[in-house]
Amino acid sequence: MSSRRTVSLITLGCARNEVDSEELAARLEAAGWQTGDDDPDVVVVNTCGFIDSAKKDSIDTLLAAADSGAKVVAAGCMAERYGAQLADALPEASVISFDDYAEIGERLDDVLAGRPLVPHTPRDRRTLLPISPVERSAAQAHIPGHAQEDPLPRGVAPASGPRTLRKRLGSGPVASLKLASGCDRRCTFCAIPAFRGSYVSRAPEDLLAEAAWLAGQGVKELVLVSENSTSYGKDLGDLRALEKLLPRLAETEGVERVRVSYLQPAELRPGLLDVIASSEGIAPYFDLSFQHASGPVLRRMRRFGDPRRFLDLLDQIRERAPEAGVRSNFIVGFPGETQEQFEELVGFLEEARLDVIGVFGYSDEEGTEAYGFEGKLDQDVIDERVATLTELAEELTAQRAEERIGTELEVLIEEDLGDGGYEGRAAHQGPEVDGAVTVQGIGLVPGQIVQAVAVDSEGVDLIARIKAGT
């Protein structure tokens, strides 16, 4: 086997997977692998296994990687969820588990040498951790994105303090910081807890050290990611841990903005709401997991809320921060959803004035409680409701963007478009999925924050001019 071993990492799915890929990159380089090669010996695909469309995308990507002539390894959520079943169905790829991450260099050595890997039999990863949240930190189960090692190889985060394994694969001014992993909620449509495991928070000092390292890498905006950020700290014995942590993260030298993603409405405490809405350096941005608005549908999802409660929450947010950004995703066609309940969701969205609305059609997921529910809707009914709500969402979010014309924006510049044009995001816009702001200027650089005024909109995107004197 050649001493030159090269690997390319392809990441699918959410920002949490991106952080996991950066752990893999750090481990691989420590094991002597060279990452980022254009003609790699091995391609590792960090798959997504959440819904049918994501699984199809993962399979297509694995097959395309195999067509390149490289050896292919399936990692991530889909690989963890299906294990040997995926290996049997897709012999083009070797399949690894989260438990293989600690020895990822050795696993890839085996693949490159032609030694077959024995794929794992999937198991409910919640069984690997104690039921009591406060006892989980002492458990030995591998949790992607939480790994530590001492000493660390050169160039891996951070240089001092808690020894978290991470190597940045991008170079932009925005980076995700994994707050926690897993989930203790029991939503009837969701399989994530079974293959991601129970909820485990990262220690505040680990997060602060990694934030400082990211700032040293040129990161200006930290995006806190997890399956449920509002649960942060419950296993550390402090339900107010997030509202204490956020101001400390915002004080990190070099960090201009901290953003929190994935908030559960039922767990959004007044104190946490105040910190996000009103604290310097923290984006007034609320990524709320509503999922539906009809009370009966939400109960069948094993969730909480109804239109009035959700609208009251939005009022509380906007009383504190009138220009706050609010986004959410919604599932339509859930088993038993009536036309009246669907129309209740439509009515809620017409009142809610959300900046971004994600629409997903319900799909059966094996291993979930809803998989066995009666009252399944025909696929053509689901497709029709998705199309109706998607069209409405595009109209409503475009209207919301128009409402922002004339308002002042703090825009983080992310890309030079040429000819004096720059693309960035305002505080109300999350990365990649929430629209962008285009500004005209001279000599701006990625990572710079400029004061601007919105002068026009195109869909959810804004066009702005830089304020005089900035």
The per-residue pLDDT for 37 is: 76
User: Is position 448 annotated in a ligand binding site?
Assistant: no
Strands (E) across 24-76 are located at 34-35, 42-47, 71-75
The per-residue pLDDT for 467 is: 85
Residue 360, φ and ψ in degrees, nearest 5: -130, 140
Q: Rounded distance, CA 427 to CA 322, Å? A: 12
- Residue type at 158? P
User: Is position 275 annotated in a ligand binding site?
Assistant: no
User: Is position 292 annotated in a ligand binding site?
Assistant: no
Q: Rounded distance, CA 308 to CA 47, Å? A: 38
The per-residue pLDDT for 211 is: 95
User: Is position 445 annotated in a ligand binding site?
Assistant: no
Q: Rounded distance, CA 296 to CA 337, Å? A: 9
The per-residue pLDDT for 160 is: 44
Q: Kindly report the pTM of this predicted structure.
A: 0.90
Token match 């004197």: residue?
A: 469
User: Is position 186 annotated in a ligand binding site?
Assistant: no
Regions of the chain with pLDDT less than 70: 1-3, 134, 136-141, 145, 147-164, 469-470
User: Is position 48 annotated in a ligand binding site?
Assistant: yes
The per-residue pLDDT for 174 is: 97
Q: Rounded distance, CA 421 to CA 427, Å? A: 19
CB count within 10 Å of CB 414 equals 20
Domains of the chain: 6-119 (3.40.50.12160), 168-403 (3.80.30.20), 407-466 (2.40.50.140)
Residue pair 394/432 in contact (Cβ under 8 Å)? The answer is: no
Residue pair 359/332 in contact (Cβ under 8 Å)? The answer is: yes
